[in-house]
């Protein structure tokens, strides 16, 4: 069937035409549909039976252009096939942290999935001052399992190469290459700057040869190092939370890339939240900022621990380096690997922080600050932290040292 963008009015009829939806809804003429897509790419409909609120799903549809820009930025709808495949893949690895897919329609570039009724987008919840005990434990599990089981440390090389092919995500990787690694470092027309942000602060990043070299190195790693299947956009807007549960959503940017990219984006978003909270001030700021840094540290430490544990547990099966002649070579390889992963994560965190200040897609934590001078203070702090992450990452001996850089 030819592609057609569904409107709110079309959704009940579309769902009724799907046999699988009859197990979810007892009626289709009492469905309420609300479009809530506040993301940059797609349309997202929340559907619920007004007489039975527990009968509810989410329908997400890709359009052949970038929604945030409009039809002048065409984009194939292939991203929805990637997103559906990634949701299914991650769900199989972490059913407690990824929503279930009920139906996928490649022709219409849409997916119908589990609605997380009790959950909120983590970024918004944090901005409202909510704090969550389990987030680091849950996200570190998600990252450890997704990054380990997608990698050559676990998969047979043939299966890994097939997976790299399957998850080749040409257009969305290009968006990331441009928006994260290229445009923020030049006066690109896609950039936008807070008018109160001093030009010197922008130049300090854009005209710094060492920063540009560091970012070049990270961009090259992003483009060439197919280590594992990444979520590809793992910021706090891609996480939904309740008091007890954490779900990772929106993996349309999934592709085979360097593991530190996922870890780094997540760390960066906690740091950006810290910068924003500091500039906003007000009651509860100290607790929120403490939570953000504790959560960042816990995410890294628990991730590293869980990832290494999975590796050890599966080492006999994969025999990645063959015989361990002196009894230490496997551990030596693992230690060097984890060190590099930490280094990469910090570098990618730096790139994410720069692009959220200078580039096209901002974060509400900072861009939502109405007082432009207060916003500029947050932006300058973020750029200062980012510069350090980019230039000094290989000198950091622990995540706690990095937190000192954030607080400095
Ligand atoms: C134009 S797309 C901008 C950003 O939105 C997504 O969430 C990704 O972060 C992308 O870079
Ligand atoms: Mg998204």
Task: Note the Cα 60 to chain centre separation in Å.
Answer: 18
Distance 95 CA to ligand 1 centre (A): 25
The answer to whether the beta carbons of residues 106 and 212 sit under 8 Å apart is: no
CA pair distance 119, 243, nearest whole angstrom? 8
126 vs 128: CA distance, rounded Å: 5
Given a cut of 70, is residue 351 above it in pLDDT? yes
Ligand 1 pocket mutation, candidates 40, 67, 252, criterion most atoms within 8 A of CB: 40
Ramachandran category for residue 109: left, alpha or beta (phi over 0 → left; psi -120 to 50 → alpha): left
Whether residue 124 is predicted with pLDDT greater than 70 in this model: the reply is yes
Cα gap 53→56, rounded to integer Å = 7
Nearest to 98 by CA among 143, 131, 44, 136: 143
CA 361–ligand 2 middle distance (angstroms): 11
225: phi then psi, degrees, rounded to nearest 5: -95, 85
Residue 407 has pLDDT above 70, yes or no: yes
CA distance 184 to 360: 8
Looking at ligand 1, which residue's alpha carbon is closest to its atom 5?
A: 40
Among protein residues, the one whose CA lies closest to atom 6 of ligand 1: 40
Query: Which ligand gives the minimal distance to the CA of 121?
Result: 2
Rg of the chain in Å (alpha carbons): 21
Hey, whose CA ends up nearest to atom 11 of ligand 1? 176
pLDDT digits (tens, 9 = 90+) for 88-118: 999 999 999 999 999 999 999 999 999 999 9
| Residues with C-beta atoms within 5 A of ion ligand 2 | 39, 250
Confidence of residue 318 (pLDDT cuts 50, 70, 90): low
* Section 39-56 average pLDDT: 93
pLDDT at 314: 92
Q: Which ligand is nearest to the CA of 248?
A: 2
Q: What is the pLDDT of residues 211-245, one digit of tens each?
A: 999 999 999 999 999 999 999 999 999 999 999 99
Checking if the pLDDT of 168 tops 80, the result is yes
pLDDT band at 301 (very low <50, low <70, confident <90, very high): very high
Give the mean pLDDT of the chain: 96
Give 321's pLDDT tier (boundaries 50, 70, 90): confident
**CB of 269 closer than 8 Å to CB of 238:** no
Among protein residues, the one whose CA lies closest to atom 9 of ligand 1: 233
Residue 316 has pLDDT above 80, yes or no: no
d(CA 177, CA 214): 14
How high is the pLDDT of residue 353?
99
Find the 238 Cα to ligand 2 centroid distance in Å: 6
**Looking at 69-73, 177-181, 211-215, 384-388, which range is the least confident one?**
69-73
Cα–Cα distance measured from residue 330 to residue 271, given in angstroms and rounded to the nearest whole number: 34
* Percent of the chain residues topping a pLDDT of 90: 92
Q: Which two tokens stand for residue 151?
A: 């990698």
Same fold, 8-114 and 120-407: no
Q: What is the mean pLDDT of residues 352-357?
A: 98
Residue range 8-114 in CATH 3.30.200.20: yes
- The residues lining ligand 1, judged by C-beta closer than 6 Å to any ligand atom, are 40, 66, 68, 175-176, 179, 233, 360-361
Predicted pLDDT of residue 317: 64
pLDDT at 324: 82
Count of alpha carbons within 13 angstroms of residue 398, beta-carbon side? 7
Q: Among 136-140, 233-237, 255-259, 279-283, name the one with the lowest average pLDDT.
A: 279-283
CA of 13 to the centre of ligand 2 (A): 27
Give the pLDDT score at 116: 96
Task: Compute the half-sphere exposure of residue 256: CA atoms within 13 Å on the CB side of its CA.
Answer: 19
**Lookup: tokens for 262:** 């996922």
Q: Are 171 and 350 in contact (CB under 8 A)?
A: no
- Between the CA of 224 and the centroid of ligand 2 the distance, in Å, is 23
CB 49 within 8 A of CB 30: yes
Alpha-carbon distance values, 2 to 9, 10, 77, 102, 107 (Å): 18, 15, 13, 22, 7
Q: Show me where the domains of the chain are located.
A: 8-114, 120-407
Distance from the CA of 110 to the center of ligand 1, in angstroms?
19
Q: Which ligand 1 atom lies nearest to the CA of residue 238? A: 7
Atom of ligand 1 lying closest to residue 233 CA:
9
37 pLDDT higher than 80: no
245 Cα to the center of ligand 2, angstroms: 19
- CATH class (in words) of the domain with range 120-407: alpha beta
CB 62 within 8 A of CB 44: no
Q: How many residues does the chain have?
A: 408
Of 192, 187, 367, nearest to 273 by C-alpha is: 367
């Amino acid at each position: 069937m030819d592609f057609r963008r569904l409107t709110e009015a079309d959704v009940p009829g579309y769902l009724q035409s799907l046999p699988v939806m009859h197990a979810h809804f007892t009626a289709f003429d009492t469905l309420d549909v609300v479009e809530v897509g506040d993301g940059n790419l797609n349309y997202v409909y929340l559907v619920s039976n007004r007489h039975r609120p527990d009968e509810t799903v989410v329908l997400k549809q890709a359009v052949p252009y970038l929604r945030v820009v409009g039809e002048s930025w065409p984009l194939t709808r292939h991203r929805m096939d990637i997103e559906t495949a990634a949701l299914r893949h991650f769900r199989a690895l972490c059913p407690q942290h990824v929503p279930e897919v009920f139906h996928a329609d490649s022709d219409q570039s849409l997916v119908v999935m589990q609605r997380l009724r009790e959950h909120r987008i983590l970024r918004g919840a944090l901005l409202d001052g909510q704090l969550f005990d389990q987030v680091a434990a849950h996200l570190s599990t998600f990252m450890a399992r997704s990054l380990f089981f997608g990698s050559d440390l676990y998969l047979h090389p043939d299966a890994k190469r097939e997976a790299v092919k399957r998850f080749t995500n040409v257009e969305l990787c290009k968006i990331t290459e441009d928006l994260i690694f290229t445009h923020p470092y030049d006066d690109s027309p896609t950039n936008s700057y807070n008018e109160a942000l001093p030009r010197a602060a922008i130049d300090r990043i854009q005209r710094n040869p060492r920063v540009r070299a560091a970012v070049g190195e990270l961009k090259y790693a992003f483009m060439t190092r197919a280590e594992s299947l990444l979520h590809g956009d793992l910021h706090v807007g891609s996480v939904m939370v309740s008091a007890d549960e954490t779900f990772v959503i929106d993996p349309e940017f999934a592709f085979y890339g360097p593991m530190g990219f996922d870890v780094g984006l997540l760390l960066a978003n906690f740091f950006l939240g810290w910068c924003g909270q500091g500039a906003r001030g007000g009651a509860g700021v100290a607790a929120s900022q403490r939570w953000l840094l504790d959560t960042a540290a816990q995410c890294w430490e628990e991730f590293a621990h869980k990832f290494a544990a999975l590796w050890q547990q599966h080492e006999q099966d994969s025999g990645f380096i063959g015989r361990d002649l002196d009894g230490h070579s496997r551990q030596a390889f693992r230690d060097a690997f984890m060190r590099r992963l930490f280094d990469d994560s910090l570098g990618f965190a730096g790139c994410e922080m720069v692009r959220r200040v200078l580039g096209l897609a901002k974060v509400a934590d900072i861009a939502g600050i109405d007082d432009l001078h207060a916003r500029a203070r947050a932006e300058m702090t973020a750029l200062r932290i980012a510069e350090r992450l980019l230039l000094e990452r290989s000198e950091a001996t622990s995540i706690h040292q990095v937190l000192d850089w954030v607080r400095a």
